[in-house]
Chains A and B, each alone.
Chain A
C-alpha cells in the first residue's frame, strides 16, 4: 500500500497542515509519497523530504502549477494517482478545490474532511456542521480523501531524508487562467495552526474595534479570527472566518468575543482545548461550550484583559 499526499504550499514553504496530512497517512499505514506541484518550489520539496515518515517526494515543478489551478493539478494527480491506494490532501481551499476533481477523473468517491482513521478503508467525518459524526467505508480501489488538519497531530518537520524525484508535468488543461491574488498580509501566526486564537463577532460593532483584539493578540502571540457576521458586515476580511464554511481551528485557547455561538460558528472551533467566551448576554449559546465564561461588556472586559495579561504573562 502506498499513499500519495498532495503537499500544500505557496511555492516557498510547506504548509504545516501537510504535516498533519502525513500523520493521517501514517495512521492508514504504508509507504508515503508526497507530491509537490508548483513553480520554483524546490524548497518545498526539500521540506517535504525532511518530514518524518515520508518515503519519497515527487516534484512537479512547472509554470502550469504555479497558481495551483485545479484543472491542471487534477490532471497531474489523476495521471499519477491511479497507482496509489489513497490520495490525501488537507481540507483547505486547495484540497477541497482539487481533490473532488481528481476523484471524478478516477471515477471514485471522495471522503471529505476526515477526523479519524479506523482502518485503511474506514474513516470518521463530521456532518451537519459537526453535530453528527459519520463512520464511512469505501471499497474504491483508490481512496480520495481530504483530511481535517486539526484532528491529526503533525509529524515532525525533521528527521526524514526521503529521495526527491522529478515528475514531468502533465499537459495544460487550458480551461482557466490566473488573474490576480489578494493575499492577506499578517505578521501574526497562521489562524488554522495558531496555539491561541482570539475571535470577534458582530458585537465588535466595526472593524476599528478589532484593534482591541489586536492588543490582546500582541501579548499572547495569538491569531485573530471572526464570525461570519463580522466578516459579512465588512469588519474584517473573509480569510478570518471561523466555522462550518470558514476555517476550522482547534487551538489550545480560543477566546470568543461578542460572538453568540451559532452552530455554524461552533463547528469551526469547538475542538479547541480551552474556550473562553466574553459576551454581555448570559443566555448566549457560546456559554454552553465555554470552559470559562465572562458575562460582561466587551468594551470594558477586553481592555481590562489586556492590562491583566500584561502583568500576568
Chain B
C-alpha cells in the first residue's frame, strides 16, 4: 500500500507574526518558514507504517512556490521515499488544494492519505475533509491513534467530548492531531540521503486544473490588543480585585 502525505510550507510556529501596514496580509519577508507541525506528524505516521511493513512507499506532495522543495526535502530526510511539488506562485485555498491532491490520488492510487488537521497560518482545517469528499473516501479527522489491518484502518479521534474510535474502509483520508506521535529529528546521514531521493515537479495546468480561489481577502488587521493589567501583591489583593473591581466572583 502506498501512503500519500500532503505537507505545507508555513511560517514557523515560533514566529510572532506582524500584520502589514497596508492591511494586505502578514509580513513574510525574511521570516523563518517550516513544515506545518501537523504535516510533520503526518509524515512521521506514514514512515512508521512503512517501518512496520504496512506501507510499501511514502510519497509526499506539496503545493506552493519553488521554496516548498525545502519542506519536501525535510520529509524525505524523515523517511519519505519520493516527493512531488505542484508549483504555483498563486494563493492556494483548501478547495483548490483538495482538487489538486485529488488529481495526485488518481495518479498514485494510495491506500491511505494523511494530512495535517490544520495549517497553522490560515487555520482552515478543511483540506483533508474536502479531499475525502472529492475522492469519495471515508475520513477520520483529528487522529490520535491509527491502526491499519488488511483493508481497513481503525482511527481514534480527539473530539470535544473526549475520544471517538472509527473504522474506515481503505483507501481513506486521515488528518493528524498533535498527540498522534512525536516526529523524529532527521539525522545528518538521512539529510544527505534525502538529497538523492527523487522529487518531481508539476503544475496545476499539467494536472488539467486551474486554481480558482473563491474567497477574497479584503483586509488583514491586527487584533485589538488587551489593555495592560496589573500585578497584585498577594492572594488577598487578588480576591479583593476580582470581587470589588472586576466583579466576576
Contacts and interface: CB of A to CB of B under 8 A. Distances in A.
Interface of A: 10, 67, 69-71, 74, 92-94, 96-105, 107-113, 122, 125-140, 173-184, 192, 196, 220, 228, 231-232, 237-239, 244-245, 247, 252-253, 263-264, 270, 273-276, 282, 287-296, 301, 304-305, 308-309, 312-313
Given A128-B11, A129-B123, A176 B242 contact: no
Contacts of A290: 229
B248 A176 contact: no
Contacts of A134: 217, 219-220
Nearest to B222: A132
A71 B139 CA distance: 7
Given A176-B139, A232-B178, A294-B238, A238 B144 contact: yes
Given A132-B26, A175-B168, A291-B230, 4 more contacts: A132-B222, A175-B138, A176-B138, A293-B230
A184 B167 contact: no
A174 B167 CA distance: 11
Contact of B249 (A98, A130, A231, A312): A312
A291 B178 CA distance: 30
A287 B220 CA distance: 26
Interface stretch (B64-72, B78-86, B126-134): B126-134
Given A110-B126, A294-B238, A92 B229 contact: no
A267 B95 CA distance: 25
A85 to B, nearest CB: 15
A299 B73 CA distance: 46
A86 B162 CA distance: 29
A264 B13 contact: yes
B52 interface: no
B214 A70 contact: no
Nearest to A111: B215
A20 to B, nearest CB: 14
Contact of A108 (B120, B154, B214, B217): B214
Given A111-B215, A132-B17, A132-B26, A127 B220 contact: yes
Nearest to B221: A133
Contact of A292 (B13, B121, B144, B238): B238
A132 B169 contact: no
Contact of A182 (B121, B129, B163, B222): B163
B166 A177 contact: yes
Closest 9 CB pairs of A and B: A175-B138, A100-B129, A109-B214, A104-B133, A104-B130, A100-B126, A291-B229, A179-B165, A304-B235
The winner among B133, B162, B231 for most chain A CB atoms within 10 A is B133
Interface in B174-189: 177-179
A69 B166 contact: yes
A239 B138 contact: no
A225 to B, nearest CB: 13
Contact of B160 (A92, A111, A231, A309): A92
B239 A312 contact: yes
Contacts of A177: 166-168
Contact of B162 (A181, A276, A291): A181
B122 A127 contact: yes
Contacts of B117: 245
A93 B235 contact: no
B59 to A, nearest CB: 22
Interface string B117-156: 1101111111111111110111111101000000000100
A104 B144 contact: no
The winner among B161, B236, B243 for most chain A CB atoms within 10 A is B161
Contacts of B221: 132-133, 135
The winner among B130, B221, B229, B230 for most chain A CB atoms within 10 A is B229
B17 A131 contact: yes
B19 interface: yes
A181 B95 contact: no
Contacts of B95: 103-104, 107-110
A126 to B, nearest CB: 7
26 contacts: A93-B141, A99-B129, A100-B94, A100-B127, A103-B130, A127-B121, A128-B123, A132-B26, A132-B222, A133-B220, A181-B161, A181-B163, A181-B165, A196-B249, A238-B162, A239-B162, A247-B160, A289-B226, A289-B229, A292-B241, A294-B231, A294-B232, A294-B234, A294-B238, A296-B235, A312-B249
